[in-house]
Structure 1
Amino acid sequence: MEAIHAEELPDEEEEEEQEQLLKRHRKEKKELQAKIQSMKNAVPKNDKKRRKQLIEDVAKLEGEMEQRHKEELEHLKLTSLAKNKIDSVVVNIASLDIENQQPRISKAQKRREKKAALEKEREERIAEAEIENLSGARHLENQKLARILAARHLEIKQIPSDGHCMYRAIEDQLKEQDCPLTVATLRSQTAEYMQNHVEDFLPFLTNPNTGDIYTSEEFGKYCDDIVNTAAWGGQLELRALSHILQTPIEVIQADSPPIVVGEEYSNKPLTLVYMRHAYGLGEHYNSVKQLMDTATENGS
């Protein structure tokens, strides 16, 4: 008679342990997101140095939690496997003394029912999250932007949130004009232009702690960070890029009229989308692309 392997049929106690662990992980992730939001609120938006450090701190916190959760799940898996191997030996020994044993289908049925219940619970959590998001700032911002862009036959083209998003969005727009400038090149040229036109940019940069205009050393450090770090770009950098490229740059927002820098140039504008609520840390730039015509796609 074929032996029954216990490791193939995990008992309800093991599944319950795993579900409890996953529930705790979900709770800890929510708590971490709340902590991240609190950290974000404590850092002024114009303090790029502290916000850069904030990004690194958040990445570290998320990485540590992810690693710990992974190790806890692996430990639970190994513990369960060891227990099941012991159970398997016991079952195999017992099977030697039992003839015509009936198939153990009831346990398999319970396992299927348990799996179905867990799947239903997961779907309910997803539905609850979707309902909650419908009233969230991110969802409302996305709706407004979608309407604004659709009126211009455009839609958002997602850009990674890695500190380079503004430059990546510019890079993407330039590709449509057969201008293959990379993020690294755009950063380098931006810093060089700003250093060569200090009087156009320095008055707009202030020390967040003192409120004083940047010193020459602080301005030099600011420009070095543009080249050598993932420092976020903003309106000053867009102004520099519009002069470098001799092209207008339009920034579409959900709650304000579009901002255009470099209006003195006659080239076709580069179009970016500025989002305040795209990610946990807030501000983000995306590119745009032509909205696909469904009727055209279907050949009708």
Structure 2
Amino acid sequence: MEDLRKQHRQELKDLQSQITQKKKSATKKTRKGVNDECAELERRLKTKQQSELSGLSGNGITPEENSEGAFDDMTEPPQEMATEINGPINALPVSDEPPNPGTGKKPNRQKARLARRAAEQEAAAAQAAEEAEDLPNLRSRERDTMREHYTSRGLKEQDIRPDGHCLYAAIADQLLDANIGLQPRINIRGLDTDGLVTKTDYAATRQVAASYISANPDDFAPFLEEPLGDYVRTIRETGEWGGHLELMALAKAYDVNINVLHGNGQVDTIESASQDDAKSLWLAYYRHSFGLGEHYNSLRKSEQHS
């Protein structure tokens, strides 16, 4: 009996390996057929092993009658078989409940779905926890590499408050540091330039970006997922973060090149309208170092490169 049970455990392990390989190679079109095939393989193995146990014991019990407890001392499936490409798989169906008499052995599909869903949720929680543990390392690495790039380019960092206005505040700091000022260098239809004098730095650049986009709808509307008027109103009246489109508008309005330095050393350049002796502004773009998420700081020339 012990030799037979040992053989059964090995057969179970081999079948688990076979099923995993089948499911990994399945496509969306073939997945249902593969799952049905795997279920049939499991049923056949279970029936075969139950018959062998009944025959060896010589008690004349049929496989169906002996199904409860026949596999109780089987080893648990190996850990490496617990997951596959499309999510966790169940162990071979050794049911916790005896089969319903007269109806044959039917897998409890609802119970299997619940178990699979619980395993997926547990895996997602574990992944989130792992990423959270690694976050301090991402921040540290990003900070260190940024400092290296500042030094190599002769720049120093000017901290900007990490809020929804950071892009606009960083541009304003660069404009003032370069003696350009907050008045746009081109005429923008609908912009009250006199009113910019009374606004805070980031509020002024917000107004310029919003007015430029509004005055040049063909350059921006194709990239928006909402009406242009709503988008412009958000820039002008809220603390919504700015991005590439706003940098494009500011580069054209102030006729400057805007260089955005990333933690990996990549520099994205948004070019000015004329390119004739255009001054260059520098921003630092962070992905991991600030609690609110993405952030822009201003990068000025260091004293030795001034």
The TM-score normalised by the length of structure 2 is 0.47
Greater gyration radius: 2
Structure with larger RCO (C-alpha < 8 A, sep 6+): 1
| Higher helix fraction (1 or 2) | 1
